[in-house]
């Protein structure tokens, strides 16, 4: 079949007016003459070219607007007018280049013109913000090149019908790079031809590759980053051996695209893994992986990824996409899982696996020893990510069909990981693998016709199901082993492991022995002594199930062994000795229990050691353990003699380790056994050992016991004890002692001495207790000497008490005077206390005084009370005090003007206001105070009193 006739070639040989007279029109003669007269004037040539270029652009727009993108294989040359204009422009360019062959501007313009005529219509480019970015990595340059590439949508010249025109375009490019070999832009315009979809076959492989090689050889190394992106894109579009050769050559210079090359080797298509799918603009301009060309080469890809992972771990490689060395190793493992037969070496194969440098040599065809690589490059390096590595290796064996090795790998992983997360990952994968294998065996049974083969499959199925059930049953033990591998000194995990064995006494005993041999006492977690105690109780109770005979001897051996362990704290060793004594008590070996405690509390030759000196073993500090001595004295009190108990208490006091409770217990013990004086001596020793506030409790008990025992028979001695206690007693704790002292004098002494003690107490106790003490003092004085005798006490209280308590005491004092009929004294007390009572904070005081004046006072005394109230209001009428008053009133749920509202309902107040108001008709006004002059300051306006009685100035002058 012959090809249709075409008008090509149009540009070769170069068209001239001699060969084609139609190139020269009548209106172009003058311009042609100017060019012939000025052949070396670049301006004349560029003016002529620009005019023809404008005509060419208009012709292109007119053609595309009328017909759209043409589907003709001739492209723009379908019309005769366009072909003629193309030849005229070629003629003028060629003529100009004969005079200016090294003009970059002219060569570039000519190449762009020829490209636009042959390569067809371009799609509009995506607009990007900002100018051209600074050159970065090859990956970034490839992305820029890919995003800025010319996308041809139609209108190009067919590569077969227009072969001669394509060849002419290539010839023009060859001539341009011959004249301007060091101009990278000229090379780029040339190389971009090889990415065109209509590129003729003779130019698309060998010629393109050799042209790219020439560009790299010609340009200096500093300009190679501008060539490599196009070269690599071209190689990816061709695939196969071309792509491999180009990429291997590039990776020797720059290894940043190793990950991309690995994906290409695996035949992946589409966007790269790190493309942001949420950004539509980014996805549109993302660097895509080309379509697969040829079979994938997983072995080379796996070796390349392994090499990158090792380099990243050594710090000699940084992933452009930010992937960590572990992520690269997982990529390698993923390739191993997906192409297990092509990548991995099986032990039963005759060939030897890759060794040393062969493991990362992509050209070497030897397979990899996956087990060795995962252990050396993965498990030994990334111990916190062991779960994924073990499951990956097991998946590799599963894909190869070696189920026994897969099971063995799962078991090794479960018995070696250090975290529950990794264990859970491996265990879940192991369980899923077992379930899928059992399901496959069950599905294959109905299709088997050979009885022997079916029997074998059934036997294998039974074994697999039994192994699966055992795996499920072993899960708690496996989790416990993981925790113990993390910390073999974790006492709580050993206790959990013992509990997992249930009633299996043999395993429980073995686990106890293993735990005690494994745990280091100084590194153990809390309660190591409990492990020894529980082990001893295990023997004492006859095992977990209590079906065996109690073995007290074995329990003693365990506790004897525990007493030699250097625990972290002394209390743990003391707990062991106490448990031993309690065990003897449960066995009714009372004498043995006493001997055990005597042995535990035996004093060494040097007793001057510090209980908190951690440099000494706990055995050397045990004799100062108060917990141990407390149990010992309790034991002596229960089954020992009085003398042995006293000796034990005395040793505690000699060692100076007693606390207040020990003193009280010792004294109580002596009191129970009728050793009264000895018990009081113990109290006295206790108050000498301790200072306040601890000594207060001892004094309190001591004095109460002494008074109860002797009453008034040894009154002077009791008084001396009270004086001795009060001598160093702090004020905050002296109140109970003073009350007890006064009660003693009231019951067995003189009332006068009791009043003197109360008087001392009012001065000695803390401020917060003085009000209560004065109240008690007044009550006692009134009951003993009558109400008049309390007046000096009240007067002293008003001088001593704080302001907040003075008002309350004043009200009581005033009430006393009213009972005695001393109205004027009561009024004077109210007046004295008023200076401490803000009208907004203590309205109850002013109400009581108001009621008092209404009942017993006169108009003058009532006015005097109002005057004092106004002065107090002015005194407290500040912003800070007002806010405080507001807070207090809010807590009480009252209003600040409550007292004014109450006065409105008061008959006396209403009468006072009526007297102050003027009457019409010249009526005489009642006597009243003279009103102060008006003041306009803000503070004084705020201090205005609504209760003020307005009077005329004339009356005041009278």
735-761 pLDDT per residue, tens: 888 888 888 888 888 888 888 888 888
- Sorting pLDDT into bands at 50, 70 and 90, what band is 387? very high
pLDDT score recorded for residue 153 = 62
- Residue 597: per-residue pLDDT: 92
22 versus 97: which is more confidently predicted? 97
Distances (CA, A) of 421 to 384, 416, 613: 9, 13, 41
Give the pLDDT band of residue 144 (cuts 50, 70, 90). Answer: low
Rounded to whole angstroms, the Cα distance separating 734 from 857 reads 44
- Count of C-beta atoms within a 10 Å radius of residue 804: 12
Which pLDDT belongs to residue 869?
A: 80
Q: Identify which of 715, 529, 537 has the alpha carbon closest to the alpha carbon of residue 628.
A: 529
C-alpha 232/C-alpha 261 separation (Å) is 10
Identify whether the C-beta of residue 151 lies closer than 8 Å to the C-beta of residue 123: yes
By 3-state DSSP, what share of the chain in percent is helix, strand and coil, each rounded to 5?
Answer: 70, 0, 30
Question: Which among 542, 651, 631, 646 has a CA at the least distance from the CA of 581?
Answer: 631
Mean pLDDT, the chain, rounded, equals: 80
CA distance 955 to 936: 24
- Predicted pLDDT of residue 902: 43
Report d(CA 181, CA 187) in Å as an integer: 8
Give me the pLDDT at residue 950, please.
44
How confident is the model at residue 409, as a pLDDT? 93
How many CA atoms lie less than 13 Å away from 829 in the CB half-sphere? 28
Extents of the domains making up the chain: 386-486, 802-884
Q: Which of 62-71, 329-338, 373-382, 615-624 has the lowest mean pLDDT?
A: 62-71
Burial classification of residue 104, based on how many CB atoms lie within 10 Å of its CB (0-12 exposed, 13-18 middle, 19 or more buried): middle
Neighbours of 578 (CB within 10 A): 23
pLDDT, one tens digit per residue, over 264-278 is: 888 865 444 444 444
Cβ neighbours of 451 (radius 10 Å): 8
**What pLDDT, on the 0 to 100 scale, is given for residue 58?**
79
pLDDT classification of 110: cutoffs 50, 70, 90:
confident
Contacts of 534 (CB under 8 A, 6+ apart): 495, 498, 512
On the question of pLDDT at 146 being above 60, the answer is: no
Residue with tokens 């020829």: 114
pLDDT of 349 strictly over 80: no
Four-point Cα dihedral 459, 464, 465, 468, nearest 10: 160
Range of 353-362, 570-579, 614-623 with top mean pLDDT: 570-579
SS3 letters across 877-893: CCHHHHHHHHHHHHHHC
- CA-to-CA separations, 892 to 444, 879, 895, in angstroms, rounded: 87, 20, 9
Q: Under a CB-based contact definition with an 8 Å cutoff, are residues 391 and 424 in contact?
A: no
Mean pLDDT, range 668-691, rounded to an integer: 87
Query: For residue 477, what pLDDT is reported?
Result: 93
Which range, 235-244, 268-277, 913-922, is most confident? Answer: 235-244
- Is 894's pLDDT higher than 80? no
232 vs 256: CA distance, rounded Å? 13
Count Cβ neighbours within 10 Å for each residue of 696-717 and write b for 16 or more, e otherwise: bbbbebbbebbbeeeeeeeeee
CA distance 895 to 474: 75
pLDDT digits (tens, 9 = 90+) for 490-537: 999 999 999 999 888 899 999 999 999 999 998 999 899 999 999 999
Structure tokens at 203: 């130019």
Confidence of residue 145 (pLDDT cuts 50, 70, 90): low
List CB contacts of 309: < 8 A, sequence separation 6 or more. Answer: 325, 328, 329, 331, 332, 377
């Amino acid at each position: 079949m012959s090809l249709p006739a075409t008008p090509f070639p149009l540009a070769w040989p170069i068209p001239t007016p001699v060969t084609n007279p139609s190139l020269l029109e009548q209106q172009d003669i003058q311009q042609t003459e100017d060019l012939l007269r000025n052949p070396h004037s670049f301006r004349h040539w560029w003016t002529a070219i620009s005019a023809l270029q404008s005509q060419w652009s208009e012709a292109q727009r007119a053609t595309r607007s009328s017909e759209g993108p043409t589907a003709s294989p001739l492209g723009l040359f379908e019309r005769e007018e366009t072909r003629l204009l193309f030849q005229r422009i070629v003629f003028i360019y060629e003529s100009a280049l004969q005079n200016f062959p090294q003009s970059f501007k002219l060569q570039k313009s000519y190449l762009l013109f020829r490209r636009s005529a042959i390569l067809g219509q371009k799609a509009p480019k995506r607009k990007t913000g900002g100018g051209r970015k600074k050159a970065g990595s090859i990956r970034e340059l490839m992305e820029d090149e890919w995003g800025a590439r010319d996308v041809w949508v139609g209108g190009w010249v067919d590569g077969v019908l227009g072969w001669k025109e394509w060849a002419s375009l290539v010839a023009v490019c060859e001539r341009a790079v011959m004249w301007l070999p060091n101009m990278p832009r000229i090379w780029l315009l040339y190389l971009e031809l090889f990415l065109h979809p209509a590129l003729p076959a003779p130019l698309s492989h060998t010629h393109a590759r050799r042209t790219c090689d020439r560009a790299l050889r010609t340009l200096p190394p500093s300009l190679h980053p501008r060539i490599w992106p196009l070269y690599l894109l071209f190689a990816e579009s061709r695939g196969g051996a071309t792509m491999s050769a180009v990429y291997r050559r590039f990776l020797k210079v720059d290894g940043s695209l190793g990950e991309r090359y690995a994906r290409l080797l695996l035949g992946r298509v589409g966007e790269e893994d790190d493309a942001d799918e949420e950004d539509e603009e980014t996805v549109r301009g993302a660097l895509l992986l080309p379509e697969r060309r040829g079979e994938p080469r997983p072995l080379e890809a796996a070796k390349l990824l392994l090499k990158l992972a090792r380099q990243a771990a050594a710090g000699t490689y940084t992933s452009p996409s930010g992937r960590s060395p572990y992520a690269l190793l997982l990529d390698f493992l993923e390739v191993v899982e997906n192409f297990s037969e092509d990548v991995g070496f099986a032990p039963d194969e005759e060939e030897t696996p890759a060794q040393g440098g062969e493991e990362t040599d992509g050209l070497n065809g030897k397979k990899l020893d996956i087990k060795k690589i995962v252990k050396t490059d993965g498990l030994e390096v990334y111990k916190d990510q062991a779960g994924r590595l073990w499951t990956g290796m097991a998946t590799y064996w599963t894909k190869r069909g070696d189920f026994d090795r897969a099971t063995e790998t799962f078991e090794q992983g479960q018995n070696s990981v250090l975290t529950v997360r990794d264990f859970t990952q491996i265990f879940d994968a192991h369980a899923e693998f077992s379930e899928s294998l059992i399901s496959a065996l069950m599905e294959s049974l109905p299709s088997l016709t050979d009885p022997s083969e079916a029997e074998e499959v059934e036997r294998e199925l039974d074994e697999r199901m039994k192994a699966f059930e055992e795996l499920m049953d072993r899960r708690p033990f496996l989790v416990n082993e993981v925790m113990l591998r993390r910390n073999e000194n974790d006492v709580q995990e050993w206790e959990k492991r013992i509990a997992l064995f249930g009633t299996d006494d043999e395993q429980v005993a073995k686990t106890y022995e293993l735990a005690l041999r494994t745990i280091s006492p100084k590194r153990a977690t809390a309660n190591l002594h409990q492990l020894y105690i529980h082990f001893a109780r295990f023997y004492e109770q006859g095992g977990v199930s209590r079906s065996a005979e109690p073995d007290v001897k074995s329990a003693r051996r365990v506790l004897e062994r525990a007493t030699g362990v250097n625990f972290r704290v002394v209390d743990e060793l003391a707990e062991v000795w106490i448990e031993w004594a309690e065990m003897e008590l449960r066995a009714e070996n009372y004498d043995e229990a006493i001997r055990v405690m005597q042995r535990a509390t035996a004093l060494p030759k040097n007793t001057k050691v510090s209980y908190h000196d951690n440099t000494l073993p706990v055995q050397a500090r045990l004799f100062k353990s108060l917990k141990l001595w407390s149990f010992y004295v309790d034991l002596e009190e229960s089954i020992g003699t009085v003398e042995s108990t006293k000796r034990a208490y005395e040793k505690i006091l000699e060692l100076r380790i007693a606390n207040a409770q020990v003193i009280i217990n010792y004294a109580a013990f002596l009191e129970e056994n009728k050793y009264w004086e000895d018990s009081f001596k113990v109290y006295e020793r206790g108050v000498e050992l301790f200072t306040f506030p601890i000594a207060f409790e001892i004094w309190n008990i001591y004095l109460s016991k002494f008074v109860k025992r002797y009453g008034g028979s040894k009154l002077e001695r009791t008084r001396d004890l009270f004086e001795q206690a009060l001598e160093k007693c702090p004020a905050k704790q002296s109140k109970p002692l003073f009350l007890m002292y006064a009660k003693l004098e009231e019951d067995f002494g003189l009332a006068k001495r009791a009043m003197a003690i109360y008087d001392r107490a009012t001065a000695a106790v803390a401020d917060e207790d003085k009000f209560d003490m004065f109240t008690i003092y007044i009550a006692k004085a009134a009951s003993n000497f009558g109400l008049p005798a309390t007046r000096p006490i009240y007067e002293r209280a008003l001088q001593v008490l704080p302001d907040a308590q003075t008002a309350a005491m004043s009200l009581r004092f005033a009430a006393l005077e009213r009972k005695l009929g001393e109205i004027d004294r009561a009024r004077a007390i109210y007046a004295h206390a008023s200076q401490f009572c803000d009208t907004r904070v203590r309205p109850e005081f002013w109400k009581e005084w108001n009621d008092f004046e209404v009942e017993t006072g006169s108009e003058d005394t009532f006015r005097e009370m109002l005057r004092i109230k106004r002065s107090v209001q002015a005194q407290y009428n500040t912003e800070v005090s007002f806010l405080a008053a507001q807070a207090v009133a809010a807590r009480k749920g009252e209003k600040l003007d409550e007292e004014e509202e109450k006065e409105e309902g008061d008959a006396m107040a209403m009468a006072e206001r009526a007297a102050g108001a003027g009457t019409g008709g010249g009526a005489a006004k009642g006597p009243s105070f003279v009103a102060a002059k008006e003041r306009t300051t803000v503070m004084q306006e705020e201090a205005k009193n609504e209760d003020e009685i307005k009077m005329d100035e004339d009356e005041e002058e009278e």
